[in-house]
Amino acid sequence: METLLNDFSPGLFAVSTILLLALIALMVKFAWKPILNSLEERESGIENALAAAENARKEMQNLQADNQRLIKEARAERDALMKEARDISNNIISEAKEGAKEVTAVLIEKAQASIIQEKQAALAEIKKNVAELSIGIAETVIRKELSNKEDQLKLVEEILKDVTLN
Amino acid sequence: MKIAQKTIKFLTITAIALFTTASFAVNSDQKHDTENDGGRVNTKNEVDAYILHHIKDSHDFSLWSYTNDAGERKHVGFPLPIIIWTTEGLVTFMSSEFHHNDDGHVIVEKKGLKFAKIHSKIYELDQEATTVSFDADHHATNAHKVLDFSITKSVFGIILIGLLLLFWFSRLAKQYKTKQVPTGFARVLEPLVLYVRDEIARPNIGDKHYRRFTGYLLTVFFFIWVLNLAGLTPLGFNVTGQLAVTACLAIFTLIIYSASGTKGYWMHMLWMPGVPILIRPILAIIELAGALIIKPFSLLVRLFANISAGHIVVMSLIAIMFTLKESLGVVGATGLSFVLSFFILLIEVLVAFLQAYIFTMLSALFIGMAVDDHAEAH
């Protein structure tokens, strides 16, 4: 203990105190402060970058989910639209068919009616023509054969026979 | 990885050692002592004296000495300035004026005062004395110690390592201005800084306060570690084995944790809540002694004792070469000494780191206890 105390040099203590204080001050100013600041900056930079990457990944996932949803919706809408269109077209077709049927029926009826009318008109005209023809014939016959009584009667009989046939 | 870092550091220091050695001037002095063998260290007593001399501070920087053909003792190294506060005020001269004498035989006269160097201490002789006289215990009777502010070997080491640390870490700091990841030697330093911050400062002080003390802890850690390692090189520094230096470091820690102690910390120390009133003063005495004496004392003695003991063991094992020469032969003694001192040096490299770590860790722990929010703890 005595040797230890004897070895203890107050001068060295004072000098090393001053030197160490200077060293600590200089190291803090020129080394530790910039080093620790840069290290912390770098660490926070890395942390931020990691967080940003994580966020980007999440956003990407959200976007993908959104896309999926949108695609699904679009597909459903398309299906609905197609179905509607098909229904509408079916309706139109069936309506058109029905309409056409009605129209044709009416047309056919009309045609039939007009055919009957025409037929009757034609018959009437034929009758008229026949009558005129008969009258003409009769006239000529009568003009020519009025001298012969027998022939006149015969002719009338014949004409009548024809007429009753009608 | 850790081994690689240490190797690099060790190599750096060795390289510096070799570089500085090359630039040393060789100065020769006649050895002015009574010994006849010219200062050789061969016997057990000489070895003991040499080791004890080594672990003390020294006023000149000597690397090795030898005896030339003419019988002169040559010392390789350089002198350091002596700055002392005497009865006549400040006196300065170079240590070379003592001619490597360490037993008080060489008297230097400055400003009308006489000075002698005895066991690495500068003594001022009394007015009428011309030579130092000793009593039976080899204490000087007609001289007294002076306040010694010399640039001793330890002070030189502190300045050298301080400049080295400043150079290394300011370069690391500069690198961050241009790039995110440092390159070269700075790349080795960065994980060490991170290690001190994340393994020592942050867990012991807590996330809230650690930022304020990290600068101090980093400086202390690298200061102790690099000086410990420098002590293992042939430069022969023993800075962290000087009581004055470790006391200085321990007192810094004491001042820091006392100054930054919270109200709760002092409250728990001086007037412990939750115990009977009569016991409180007794507890206060114990707590005060613990905080103001035992904690810094354990810090300063642990570092001093470990490093000094390391130096003594390594030097004793190297000295086997001389002390066991007769019983083992030259080859045997040299081989044994080499093998043993090699392994002890490896352990000392580990101890160098360990002591720096322990000092910094305990400092962080004490600071952490002082700044901790005590109200929450109970």
Tokens of B4: 């690689």
**CB of A1 within 8 Å of any CB in chain B?**
no
Amino acid at A50: L
Please provide residue A148's backbone torsions phi and psi, each rounded to the nearest 5 degrees: -100, 110
Q: What are phi and psi of B39, to 5 degrees?
A: 80, 15
Complex ipTM? 0.80
Residue B96 DSSP label: G
Q: Which of A93, A1, A5 is nearest to B243 (CA)?
A: A5
What 3-state DSSP class applies to B86? strand
- Residues B238 and B132: their CA atoms lie apart, in Å, by 28
Per the listing, tokens 């160098």 go with B352
Chain A residues touching B250 at Cβ < 8 A = none
Yes or no, beta carbons of A9 and B193 under 8 Å apart: no
Q: What is the predicted pLDDT for the residue at B342?
A: 92
- What is the mean pLDDT for each group of 10 consecutive residues in chain B (378 residues)? 58 55 40 47 78 83 79 81 86 85 82 83 82 78 85 91 94 88 89 93 90 93 94 87 92 93 86 84 90 92 92 90 83 90 93 95 93 62
Our separate counts of H helices and E strands in chain A read 4, 0
Predicted pLDDT of residue A145: 60
pLDDT tens, residue by residue, A79-137: 999 999 999 999 999 999 999 999 999 999 999 998 999 889 888 888 888 888 888 87
**Test mutation, A2, A6, A9, chain B, max B CBs within 10 A:** A9
| Residue in chain A lying closest to B220 (CA) | A24
pLDDT at residue A57 is higher than 50: yes
For residue B293, the model assigns a pLDDT of: 92
B337/B314 Cα distance (integer angstroms): 10
Measured between beta carbons, which residues in chain B are less than 8 angstroms from residue A31? 165-166, 169-170, 172-173
> What pLDDT, on the 0 to 100 scale, is given for residue B16?
55
In chain B, domain spans: 78-148, 153-377
